[in-house]
Amino acid sequence: MISADLIRFTLSSARAHRLRSGLTALGIGIGVTAVVLLTSIGEGLQQYLLREFTQFGTNIISVSPGKASTFGGSMAASFNSTRPLSLGDAEALSRVPFVTHSVGTVQGNAEVEGNGRSRRTMVSGTGPYMPRVWLFAVALGEFLPADEESAPRPFVVLGSKVRDELFGTANPLGERIRVGGSRFRVIGVMESKGTVLGFDMDDAVYIPVLRAFELFNKDGLVDISVLYEESASAEEVVAGIRRMMITRHGGEDFTITTQQQMLDVLGSVLNIVTIAVAGLGGISLLVGGVGIFTIMTIAVRERTSEIGLLRSLGAVRRDVRDIFLGESIMLAALGGVGGVIFGGLIVETTKILVPALPLSYSIPFAIAAETVAILIGLLAGVLPARKAANLDPVDALRTE
Amino acid sequence: MIKLEGLCRDFQVGDQVVHALDHIDLLIRQSEYVSIMGPSGSGKSTLLNILGLLDSPSAGNYWLDDISTASMNDDELASIRQKKIGFVFQSFHLVPRMNAMENIELPMVLAGVLPADRRDKVAAALERVGLTKRADHRPDQLSGGERQRVAIARAIVMQPMILLADEPTGNLDSQSGKEIVDLMEELNNQGLTLIVVTHDPAIGNRAQRMVRMEDGRIKTDIQ
């Protein structure tokens, strides 16, 4: 039997019971739809988070105060002292090999008053190279000047939302505003960056670090972000930073996190979520497989005399097995294709109707779901097909 | 040529052994027209199944064209059924979802004949049984006689040597039954070996050779 004929034969027997075949395939189809939908949500979430993280660029290493590891008893903890990260540390890190820029930041909330209005917003004390490191450009005016970090003038750069709220469409450059009661002069406005992980980058103002220390009465940075050359390996840069910091602090009282580490952890967590969710969809696929098994068992019983006839016409057991196995696989495959298409339609429609939902139709998962559907069809068909193949032709012919 | 020697077929029914065929010796030459008659349970259908290689004997030998079938495996038996033997059944055994043409095509489909090579042979078989105009009718759109004609066309489309008919007129009225027998006799005249199992003397008596069976044995064999 040539394969084109085998396909035609199985299609004709599936067509003979349209409703039944349709419902059986639907069982698999629903399973595949579920897998496609759930994995689309998983993939969408993953891509959303990756996008959020990588919009800062990928060759960033972050140094934060304190060692993120567990020490022995409470006694040991009390002896463990953490030196704050200073502006000097940030400056020193910019001299580590391959490092191009470093930015120390400190953050807080304060009242910003200007143009007769006021707004409580995030105040970020930051360095002159922040736009370079965070890939965050200035839309208007300029950023904090580079040459006066040790004795900075009271300049402020506004986030685009703060600018809109305080000044509307008026030009804010050169205007004097109050940040936490102190007077600052507006020298720039950042472009709009939107929210990053729920954090509104536009609803913030940026002032020199030392001014922020004064404002918040703090003496340590919360984070030093280091931008390094793309050609350099992260390990090498990390080693350089560690050496420099240990020299300066006399011990490892800081934590170094590379962007890649963050992405890896995030990625592995999300992969587990996606796989778990695909497994849930897989359960409905399994139920569909039981449906196919049931229908194929019934089909073998109903078509016993046809099996006898085929044997009398020269079909070997293998042919009979292939016919029923083929039918089972075909039902599963067609149901699967339906599920892949239907799931895709739902995903695309939802993306149009609710653009905020992070959905992403994953073609590898769709292919995987279809493959699993076909495998389930194969497994569900094995027993009925074997039963059909092993029927005695004389007995089969006698059955009406 | 068919040659049976000491052929037995036993069935186990409960704890009893039934001798459906009990030491049958039979020689049927190419192009013979043989009817096998006898009461039900006489073993005539069992004999036909063994002749058609659908069933194997418990003992004895069966030579088909001087080849012993005893040592053949399932695939070889199927291959011989495909090439040398055509079956006609009492209940036609047409595939209900396929039209006449597709039913006739089925043996070639199973044999792996390419579609292009099938068309002419199906057309010829359809013409041979006079159903060219009914090619695209499904079995439920055909009369009993027409269905049996489709079955005969299917049986001869692979150009077998032997046609085995098991009560071919059993489900037909006498007129279409007669037409079916006429058709099979025509095929026999063209060289096809025809073996008809029937309990209807009117059909059986038309054969050149009449084998009468009783209790698994050949009682009479009238040439």
Q: What is the mean pLDDT of residues A12-37?
A: 91
pLDDT of residue A76: 42
Query: Nearest C-alpha of chain B: how many angstroms from A6?
Result: 9
Q: What is the mean pLDDT of chain B?
A: 93
Q: Identify the three-state secondary structure at position B165.
A: strand
Q: What mean pLDDT is predicted for residues A184-190?
A: 94
Q: How confident is the model at residue A197 (pLDDT cuts 50, 70, 90)?
A: low
Question: Which residues are CB-contacts of A163 (< 8 A; sequence separation ≥ 6)?
Answer: A140, A172, A189
Which pair of structure tokens corresponds to residue A118?
């006021």
* Residue A250: partners with Cβ closer than 8 Å, 6 or more residues away: none
- For residue B98, the distance in angstroms to the closest alpha carbon of chain A comes to 8
Contact A356, A194 (CB under 8 A): no
In this complex, is the C-beta atom of A150 within 8 Å of any C-beta atom belonging to chain B?
Answer: no
SS3 for A277?
A: helix
Chain A interface mutation, best of B73, B92, B93, B118, highest count of A Cβ atoms under 10 Å = B93
* Single-letter amino acid code for the residue at B109: V
Question: According to the model, what pLDDT value does residue A267 have?
Answer: 79
State the best of A303, A310, A312 to mutate against chain B, taking most chain B CBs within 10 Å: A312
> Is residue A77 pLDDT above 80, yes or no?
no
* Chain A residues closer than 8 Å to B97 by CB: 12-13, 15-16
A316 vs B78, B98, B158: nearest CB: B78
Read off the pLDDT band of B41 (50, 70, 90).
Answer: confident
Q: Do B107 and A2 touch (CB under 8 A)?
A: no
> For A126-146, what is each residue's pLDDT tens digit?
989 888 888 888 998 999 998
Cα distance between residue A213 and residue A73, in whole Å: 33
Q: How far is A389 from chain B (nearest CA, A)?
A: 12
Kindly state the average pLDDT of the residues B83-95.
94
Which element (helix H / strand E) includes B36? strand B33-37
Q: Is B17 exposed, middle or buried (0-12, 13-18, 19+ CB in 10 A)?
A: exposed
pLDDT for residue B198 = 92
Question: What's the pLDDT at A113?
Answer: 92
Residues A243-289: pLDDT tens digits? 999 999 888 888 888 877 877 887 788 888 878 877 888 888 889 99
SS3 A209: helix
A74, pLDDT greater than 70: no
Among the listed residues A309, A310, A313, the one whose alpha carbon sits nearest the alpha carbon of residue A322:
A310
Cβ–Cβ under 8 Å, residues A263 and A53: yes
Higher pLDDT, A56 or A229: A229
Residue A312 in contact with partner chain B when CB distance is under 8 A: yes
Q: Is the dihedral of CA B157, B159, B160, B166 positive or negative?
A: positive
The alpha-carbon gap from A292 to the nearest alpha carbon of chain B, in Å, equals: 21
Second-level CATH architecture of B30-54+71-222: 3-Layer(aba) Sandwich (3.40)
Other beta carbons within 10 angstroms of residue B86's beta carbon come to: 29
Structural contact between residues A207 and A147, judged by C-beta atoms closer than 8 angstroms: no
First-last CA distance in chain A: 26
Structure tokens given for A6: 């085998």
B109/A9 touch (CB, cutoff 8 Å), yes or no: yes
Rounded CA-CA distance A352/A360 in Å is 12
Can you give the pLDDT at residue A78?
Answer: 42
Average pLDDT, chain A: 87
Q: Strand (E) positions, A236-317?
A: 254-258
Q: Average the pLDDT over A14-41 and give the result.
A: 90
Secondary structure (DSSP) of A343-377:
HHHHHHHHHHH-TTS-----HHHHHHHHHHHHHHH
Domain residue spans of chain A = 3-53+264-398, 83-252
Task: Select the residue of A5, A13, A314 nearest B78 (Cβ to Cβ).
Answer: A314
Asked if A234 and A258 count as a contact pair (C-beta separation under 8 A), the reply is yes
For chain A, what percent of residues have pLDDT higher than 70? Answer: 95
Tell me the chain B residues in contact with residue A5 when contact means C-beta distances shorter than 8 Å.
Answer: 109, 112, 115
d(CA B157, CA A248): 96
Nearest to A13 among B49, B97, B107 (CB): B97
> Count of CB contacts below 8 A, A vs B?
67
pLDDT of residue B68: 93
Beta bridge partners of A109: A122
Average pLDDT over residues B182-208: 93
- Residue A283 sits at φ, ψ, to 5 deg, of -65, -40
Answer whether A400 sits within 8 Å of B82, measured CB to CB. Answer: no
> Chain B residues with CB-CB distance to A under 8 A?
49, 52, 54-55, 74-75, 78-79, 81-83, 87, 89, 91, 93, 95-98, 102, 106-107, 109-112, 114-115, 154, 158
Residue A75: its pLDDT value, please? 45
Q: Which residues of B touch A400 (CB under 8 A)?
A: 91
- Least confident residue range of A46-50, A63-67, A85-89: A46-50
Query: Does the structure show a pLDDT above 70 at B180?
Result: yes
What is the ipTM for the molecules in this complex? Answer: 0.94
Decide if A310 and B106 are in contact by the 8 Å CB cutoff. Answer: yes
Mean pLDDT of A75-88: 66
Nearest CA in chain B to A391: B54
On whether any CB of chain B is under 8 Å from the CB of A317, the answer is yes
SS3 sequence, B38-89?
CCCCCCHHHHHHHHCCCCCCCEEEEEECCEECCCCCHHHHHHHHHHHEEEEC
What is the pLDDT, as a whole number, of residue A135? 82
Q: Which pLDDT does position B138 carry in this prediction?
A: 94
Higher pLDDT: A37 or A74? It is A37
Share of chain B above pLDDT 70, in %: 100
Higher pLDDT, A275 or A338: A338
Query: Which of A53-57, A68-72, A139-143, A363-367 has the lowest average pLDDT?
Result: A68-72
What would the mean pLDDT of A342-346 be, rounded to a whole number? 93
CB atoms A313 and B154 under 8 Å: yes
